[in-house]
Amino acid sequence: MDDDVEALVRLREDPAAGMQETIDAIHRLRDRCIEAGALPEAVPVLRSFLRDADMDVVAWAAQTLGHMGAREAVPDLLDLLRPEAPQERRIAIPLVFEDWGLDYPDEAGMYALRLMKATDTIPDIAACLASKSARTRQTAGHTLRDMHAEAEVARLLVRATPDLRAGIVEFLEWKYIPAARLPAIEAALVSVLAEGDADGRRAAAEALGAFASVAAVMPLLESLDAPGGSDALDAVVRAAIAAIQSRRPGAAPGQVSVSESGQLAVTDDPAGRVSLDEDGSEPRRR
């Protein structure tokens, strides 16, 4: 057996083993796998350390598994994302308030999953956007953005719970999404307008209003006539259209109206206006 792995096995079985000695052994394994690749014989013992009561040990074990790309550890890493994980694993989080400087089980799990590019776990990570913890939501948002997962997360609005819908909208309204990814996110949200329930469509419209291009105006208008609508949904859709059109060159925020027949008009200077014809053609000056 590898000397470092053997040392970890011994430390795991020794109740008197020092925490720093354990962390040092895990560090050596991490550095070796970064330089030379995975050590498969280390995976079982590292997985066992994910149930340790010390968060430094948990975090370093998770990180090392992530660097190894140890897919067999994915279930253990996902288990760290559950809000019950600290109590069940007797992980001590000593402060009654959220200390943003502490390591937490969910942070360790998400970091490892990102390192191993486990894109199949995106829905599990996205579920953390529904957390009551702002720290957990922020960690999930950073992780999902690093995984380029915005469009996939947007599609989850179709079947999302109320808390997850709110978390997804918050995530998509962040200002740090690279412009190159916006078309895919917009397309995903437009698909929710066609497939989602009223609540999902409302959330999609809210997010589209934050950044979508004028190409989203027609799908938004069409969603007003879709089954299962409501006054609340119509109001959000109209507000989203107004927000999108207000970003057109020459149009100031608030200079938008949607008529009862579905026509949209944007005043962009005192002399004229841009409108959508009743046949749904592109905007033109009249």
Give the helix/strand (H/E) hosting 264: strand 264-269
**What mean pLDDT is reported for the chain?**
83
Q: State which amino acid sits at residue 87.
A: Q
Q: Are strands 272-275 and 284-285 parallel, antiparallel or unpaired?
A: antiparallel
Q: CB-based contacts of 56: which residues, under 8 Å, 6+ apart? A: 19, 23, 103
pLDDT band at 264 (very low <50, low <70, confident <90, very high): low
Q: Which DSSP helix (H) or strand (E) runs through 75?
A: helix 74-79
Confidence of residue 62 (pLDDT cuts 50, 70, 90): very high
pLDDT at 13: 86
Summarize pLDDT for 73-108 with one digit per residue, the tens: 999 999 999 988 888 877 766 554 555 556 688 999
Higher pLDDT, 4 or 203: 203
Beta pairing partners, 272: 269
- Position 242 pLDDT exceeds 60: yes
Q: What's residue 51's pLDDT?
A: 87
First to last CA, the chain: 80
Q: Read off the tokens for 187.
A: 């397309």
| Residue closest to 160 by CA, chosen among 130, 135, 136, 187 | 130
91: left (phi over 0), alpha (psi -120 to 50) or beta: beta
Tokens of 5: 């792995």
pLDDT in the model for residue 275: 37
Mean pLDDT computed over 183-187:
95
Q: Supply the pLDDT for residue 133.
A: 87
**Residue 250 clears pLDDT 50, i.e. is over it:** yes
The pTM (predicted TM-score) of the whole model is 0.81
Percentage of the chain exceeding pLDDT 70: 82
Mean pLDDT check: name the lowest of 76-85, 115-124, 177-186, 264-273. 264-273
Residue 112 near residue 76, CB atoms below 8 Å: no
Per the structure block, which two tokens stand in for 22? 């354990």
Q: Check residue 2 and give its pLDDT.
A: 82
Separation of alpha carbons 262 and 275, rounded Å: 11
Confidence band for 45, pLDDT divided at 50, 70 and 90 = very high
Q: Is 213 a residue whose pLDDT tops 70?
A: yes
- Two structure tokens written together for 116: 């191993």
Task: Please tell me which residue, 243 or 260, carries the higher pLDDT value.
Answer: 243
Does position 235 have pLDDT exceeding 50, yes or no?
A: yes
Higher-scoring residue by pLDDT: 224, 164 = 164
Q: For residue 46, give the nearest of 59, 37, 35 by alpha carbon.
A: 59
Predicted confidence band at 14 (pLDDT cuts at 50, 70, 90)?
Answer: confident
**Does pLDDT of 239 surpass 60?**
yes
Task: Give percent above pLDDT 90 in the chain.
Answer: 49
Highest mean pLDDT out of 34-38, 51-55, 179-183, 278-282: 179-183
pLDDT band at residue 196 using 50, 70 and 90 as cut-offs: confident
